[in-house]
Structure 1
Amino acid sequence: MPTLFSLRLCLPCRRLLRGVLITCSALLFSGCSTFGQSSLQPEPVPDLSELAHDAAAQMVASNPDMTRYSPMIAATFVDIDNLTQSSTFGRISSELMASALSRQGIKVREVKMRDSLFIEEQVGELILSRQVQRLSKRYDARSILMGTYAQGQDYVYVSARVVRSTDALVLGTADFRLPLNNNTRTLLGTGGW
């Protein structure tokens, strides 16, 4: 019984058959290589809430005694380039971190004011403003959550810390970055694409 390759075909037919076989083989192998790639889902980009909860867990894990410095009040996170400015991003970052720290066992006092609660930086070291010191006494707060953020080209970087209200000693810190996308730019007030 003759096989396909032992059949006597004219030269043009053999070339055509060889071309068809090569094309089918190429399609088969290319399909196999893209099949493995298309079945892999890209990792989801973490959102601000997830990053804040991970950062809070990291803070408490690095200093479990931090929970002793309850209650805590939260200051609005500010723009690193202008410490008297914030944005929706700074306000929600502070809220999410306070919520996450509360889940980690820190008692958080709710402080809502007409103007946001800011921490001001003066030359050199971080200094608690008089307003914050008065508020921490008024609310009997033993610690304060504060943070800064900086917008880069592709990411916004956040640095959060919990400081003791009496002497501004840092009890815990955490840093994270969030990809800049349309949503993040809107929160920062720089507009979407």
Structure 2
Amino acid sequence: LDPQRKVLGLFPGSRRSEIKRLLPVLLDAAALLHARHPELQFILPRASTLSEADFAPHFAGRNLPVTVVPGRSYDVMPACDAIVSASGTATLEIALSRTPLAVIYKIAPLSYRIMSRMIKVDHIALCNIVAGERIAPELIQHDATPEKIAAEAESLVYDAARNGLMRERLLKVRERLGGAGGSANVAALTEKLLAHQ
């Protein structure tokens, strides 16, 4: 990566089902951004639970400057100007690195209809649940379109004031997780939060 150029992280999740649902829309958003900002770099950490074969079909026919890094998400986070991430524990880890982020969530339409009737929550991203407020924008289901993802990412990367403000607000997540060593508390806190949903 060129340290003189902006970097957007693409975090599609660690499960094959997430990759199938989220990676295509993330790459479509990246294509829109690449057309507007050809200097923008993209980096995508590949979880250790996934192989190149899980990613290859989604990259076929695309000419995008995406650097795929096997299993080094913790190293990737601070190198990014902003990140678009699947919901889940990754959002807490990103928040601890104080890297501005937008969160996307998309499941099968029928599952979403059932879930939205049964479960009422103010926030879907764990970083927002921990903070007790919406710090990271959430693009859920029908809002998780390439156009909306690209618009949020563009703003987070190129709007210096918004980027800086989010970095400050993400301190609240770190404080609630126990300071600089908070990453050790992520798994336990996640279980506790999910048990009360």
> Based on CA coordinates, which of the two structures has the bigger radius of gyration?
1
TM-score by length of 1: 0.29
Counting helix residues as a fraction of each chain, which structure ranks higher?
Answer: 2
